[in-house]
Amino acid sequence: MLTLLLGCILAAMLYYLMYSALRQWLLAKETVMLELPLLGQKRKGSRIQGTAVVCGGSLSGLFTARICADHFDKVIVVETEDWLSQEDGVTSQRWQDAPARARVIQWKSAHAWLVFLYDALSRLFPNLLEACKTFGIAIVTADIGIHITGKHLTRPYIHGSHFGPNGHPKMFSCSRPCFESMLRSLVLDPDSYPNVSQISGTATGVIESESGKRLQGVIVRTPEGIESIDATLVIDSTGPAQAIYKSLPSAPSLDTITETYHPKMNYCTCHFTMTPEIAERVPISTYLLPAAGDISRCLIMFRQDHLSMAVSCGAWGAAKDLPTTLDGIRQHVAGVGYKVPQFIWDAFDLLQEVEDTVTSSPVRCPASFWTHYERAANKLPVNYVAIGDSVGRVNPVFGQGATKALVGSTVLNTALHGVQGIDDDFAKRVHTAQAARMQRFWEGTKIADYAHKTTIPTEGETLAFGKVLRTFTRYVEILATTVRYLHFSIVVHGRLSDHTTPTGLLCW
Ligand SMILES: Cc1cc2nc3c(=O)[nH]c(=O)nc-3n(C[C@H](O)[C@H](O)[C@H](O)COP(=O)(O)OP(=O)(O)OC[C@H]3O[C@@H](n4cnc5c(N)ncnc54)[C@H](O)[C@@H]3O)c2cc1C
């Protein structure tokens, strides 16, 4: 009897140890959760001599510039859109007045800011809350109101306490122009980061060392003429333009290292300007998603800064006719094919009062892609790193773009903490570590997109790819709307909050 008891205890201990080890291994491999404490930490020893040149001054460029401020003597951001280097680029003005972005088609699309962003940025910017206040950015409980085929996902319990309403985690609630301008004002604050500056210019080329192994500088076309900037590290944050990679003389052609498929998905975001009374009564955040495997429409609604309500209608396979009016939105939602919760119709009724304030921003989603720099690492300069959408672009339905960029910057931060200078394996290590984290953004979205028959799959694949995982996800999603205390909803919330892995049950 005693032997049996001891055997059971031993087996339980072994199971627990194996579970813990597997969980830690997955967290380390697939996420940057274990690296978060290093964000904003002072590096051991002095800063790396020379300049980190960050090409592209949008989300990933700004995240990366902040990271590099801790590690390099000097950081220069090169941004081609001139107004972003002027006062307009850092102002806390109303989003409606923000100038258009020539190269960022989603500038006025509804953006979700997943919880990872709040968590990581609070570590990087001690004055984050103050900046949010100045820019009118609300910090809200990160229950983004996910509904799968009309059923609200039960909110998960974390460490024994309920997810919201006053609890954690938190997220930002604001428009893209507001978020980006706040981020830029924080990063370019000369008092906090005197070693960071931004110049207006287009990165047009690179200067290689004689061996071709290292970049010595970046060539920039500025309003004053052509300049070359010496560089210790070059970061390609030029988004889908992948401008620096394309200028590398010895790099393999992008086609040979890029996976691509086309989700054929379009969005149209309508913005309504509400009265304070209406703003009080509409939900902060609502996601109406199909279960993996059916229905080709979604609705994403966010209350944003300055009394704005963003209502984004999305559809797989629809080439045109996404709504630009409240009536059109009602029809879009009526056609989702399942019962839509009453509070959404009530919110539309409230918006009726301010219907005439509507402006719209349609976006036809380009193909999704993932460039595997890690596969070409031996042929790339050892001090060239790509972060953000220059690594890959996914269907934004789960709102992961900014998170993906900050995950990349976090990987870079960890790598920089481990070196005194940029060694010959530096870029290879960063690209390999980043690719391991990119996997879940890519596959999770791809598997969801492959459920829609209008998706054009990656060459050599069929839409059957990922069927088993899709079926698993479908059942998890169904359970997540019904089983309150089990952790199923964590998997789905996790996908949207990015605190988990595809094997998310193990990893909260
Ligand atoms: C419809 C839609 C909705 C989205 N919704 C969300 C969401 O809800 N949440 C979310 O997190 N993400 C969302 N995204 C994705 C997110 O917007 C992107 O992932 C994010 O913008 C990527 O940032 P980035 O800095 O890598 O690239 P970009 O934002 O593309 O920025 C690239 C920058 O580089 C500059 N540049 C280009 N070439 C050069 C050059 N040669 N020299 C100097 N500068 C150059 C450009 O001017 C630009 O400023 C959405 C995307 C779309 C299409």
Q: Domains (ranges, CATH) in the chain?
A: 37-137+174-261+367-465 (3.50.50.60), 265-364 (3.30.70)
Atom of ligand 1 nearest to the CA of 57: 49
Q: How far apart are CA 148 and CA 340, in angstroms?
A: 10
Q: How far apart are CA 398 and CA 78, in angstroms?
A: 29
Span from the CA of 433 to the centroid of ligand 1 (angstroms): 22
Atom of ligand 1 nearest to the CA of 111: 8
Q: How far apart are CA 17 and CA 439, in angstroms?
A: 26
42 backbone dihedrals φ, ψ, rounded to 5° = -65, 140
Span from the CA of 389 to the centroid of ligand 1 (angstroms): 6
Contact 293, 148 (CB under 8 A): no
Q: What angle do CA 56, 62, 67 make, to 5 degrees?
A: 120
Q: How far apart are CA 2 and CA 447, in angstroms?
A: 50
What is the mean pLDDT of the segment spanning 445-465?
94
Instruction: Specify the pairing of strand 146-148 against strand 151-152.
Output: antiparallel
Give the pLDDT of residue 289.
84
Q: Which has more confidence, 200 or 159?
A: 200
Q: In this predicted structure, which of 233-247, 406-420, 465-479 has the lowest mean pLDDT?
A: 465-479
pTM of the model: 0.93
Instruction: Specify the pairing of strand 297-303 against strand 225-230.
Output: unpaired
User: Average pLDDT over the chain, rounded to whole?
Assistant: 89
Q: Which has more confidence, 318 or 422?
A: 422
Provide the sign of the torsion angle of the four alpha carbons 371, 376, 377, 382, taken in this order: negative
The per-residue pLDDT for range 354-391, each reduced to its tens digit, is: 999 999 999 999 999 999 999 999 999 999 999 999 99
Name residue 233's beta-bridge partners: 52
pLDDT confidence tier of residue 174, bands split at 50, 70 and 90: very high
Atom of ligand 1 nearest to the CA of 114: 11
Atom of ligand 1 nearest to the CA of 220: 42
Nearest CA to ligand 1 atom 30: 239
pLDDT confidence tier of residue 398, bands split at 50, 70 and 90: confident
Atom of ligand 1 nearest to the CA of 78: 43
Query: Which contacts (CB < 8 Å, 24+ apart) does range 191-197 have?
Result: 192/125, 192/127, 193/66, 193/69, 193/75, 195/47, 195/69, 195/72, 195/73, 195/74, 195/75, 196/65, 196/66, 196/68, 196/69, 196/75, 196/76, 196/77, 197/75, 197/76, 197/77
Give the pLDDT of residue 506.
43
Quote the strand ranges of 422-499, DSSP E: none
Segment of 52-56, 165-169, 296-300 carrying the highest mean pLDDT: 52-56
Span from the CA of 400 to the centroid of ligand 1 (angstroms): 12
Q: How far apart are CA 260 and CA 298, in angstroms?
A: 23
Q: Would you call 147 exposed, middle or buried from its count of C-beta atoms within 10 A (0-12, 13-18, 19+)? A: buried
pLDDT confidence tier of residue 143, bands split at 50, 70 and 90: confident
Give the pLDDT of residue 294.
67
Q: Which has more confidence, 235 or 468?
A: 235
Ligand 1, from 67, 108, 111: best to mutate by most atoms within 8 Å of Cβ?
111
Nearest CA to ligand 1 atom 15: 401
Q: Is the peptide bond before 169 cis (omega within 30 degrees of 0)?
A: yes
pLDDT confidence tier of residue 292, bands split at 50, 70 and 90: low
Atom of ligand 1 nearest to the CA of 387: 26
The per-residue pLDDT for range 478-507, each reduced to its tens digit, is: 776 766 555 555 555 555 544 444 444 444
Q: Does the structure show a pLDDT above 80 at 168?
A: no
Atom of ligand 1 nearest to the CA of 59: 25
Name residue 421's beta-bridge partners: none
Span from the CA of 181 to the centroid of ligand 1 (angstroms): 13
Span from the CA of 24 to the centroid of ligand 1 (angstroms): 32
The dihedral formed by the CA atoms of 317, 320, 325 and 329, expressed in degrees to the nearest 10 = -20
Contact 128, 186 (CB under 8 A): yes
3-state secondary structure of 371: strand
117 backbone dihedrals φ, ψ, rounded to 5° = -65, -45
Helix axes 401-417, 59-69, angle to 10 degrees: 20
Give the pLDDT of residue 382.
97
Atom of ligand 1 nearest to the CA of 204: 41
What is the mean pLDDT of the segment spanning 17-27?
82
Span from the CA of 237 to the centroid of ligand 1 (angstroms): 9
Span from the CA of 346 to the centroid of ligand 1 (angstroms): 33
**Cα Rg for the chain, rounded, in angstroms?**
23
Q: What angle do CA 338, 497, 476 make, to 5 degrees?
A: 50
Q: How far apart are CA 504 and CA 508, in angstroms?
A: 7
Ligand 1, from 84, 101, 104, 227: best to mutate by most atoms within 8 Å of Cβ?
104
Ligand 1, from 63, 267, 389, 495: best to mutate by most atoms within 8 Å of Cβ?
389
Contact 372, 258 (CB under 8 A): yes
Q: Does the structure show a pLDDT above 70 at 443?
A: yes
The per-residue pLDDT for range 34-73, each reduced to its tens digit, is: 999 999 999 999 999 999 999 999 999 999 999 999 999 9
Q: Does the structure show a pLDDT above 90 at 508?
A: no
Span from the CA of 239 to the centroid of ligand 1 (angstroms): 6
User: What percent of the chain is modeled with pLDDT above 90?
Assistant: 67
State which amino acid sits at residue 407. V
Going across the sheet that includes 392-393, the strands are 258-261, 368-371, 392-393
Q: How far apart are CA 222 and CA 76, in angstroms?
A: 14
The per-residue pLDDT for range 237-255, each reduced to its tens digit, is: 999 999 999 999 989 999 9
CA 270 to chain centre: 21
Span from the CA of 59 to the centroid of ligand 1 (angstroms): 7
State which amino acid sits at residue 494. G
Span from the CA of 169 to the centroid of ligand 1 (angstroms): 25
Atom of ligand 1 nearest to the CA of 202: 42
The dihedral formed by the CA atoms of 106, 110, 115 and 119, expressed in degrees to the nearest 10 = 60
3-state secondary structure of 272: strand
Q: Tell me the residue length of the chain.
A: 508
What is the mean pLDDT of the segment spanning 298-320?
89
Provide the sign of the torsion angle of the four alpha carbons 188, 190, 192, 196, taken in this order: positive
Span from the CA of 170 to the centroid of ligand 1 (angstroms): 23
Give alpha helix (H) positions in 188-285.
243-247, 254-257, 276-281
Q: In this predicted structure, which of 62-71, 94-103, 276-285, 411-420 has the lowest mean pLDDT?
A: 94-103
Nearest CA to ligand 1 atom 4: 396
Give the pLDDT of residue 500.
46
Atom of ligand 1 nearest to the CA of 389: 26
The per-residue pLDDT for range 92-125, each reduced to its tens digit, is: 876 667 788 989 999 999 999 988 899 999 999 9
Ligand 1 pocket residues where CB is under 6 Å: 55-61, 78-81, 103-106, 109, 111-112, 202-203, 237-239, 241, 243, 267, 363, 365, 388-389, 396, 399-403, 405
What is the mean pLDDT of the segment spanning 71-93?
94
Span from the CA of 366 to the centroid of ligand 1 (angstroms): 13
Q: Does the structure show a pLDDT above 90 at 193?
A: yes
Span from the CA of 220 to the centroid of ligand 1 (angstroms): 20
Contact 215, 208 (CB under 8 A): yes
Contact 358, 324 (CB under 8 A): yes
Q: How far apart are CA 167 and CA 287, in angstroms?
A: 20
Longest Cα–Cα distance of the chain, Å, equals: 86
3-state secondary structure of 360: strand
Atom of ligand 1 nearest to the CA of 393: 19
What is the mean pLDDT of the segment spanning 441-464?
93
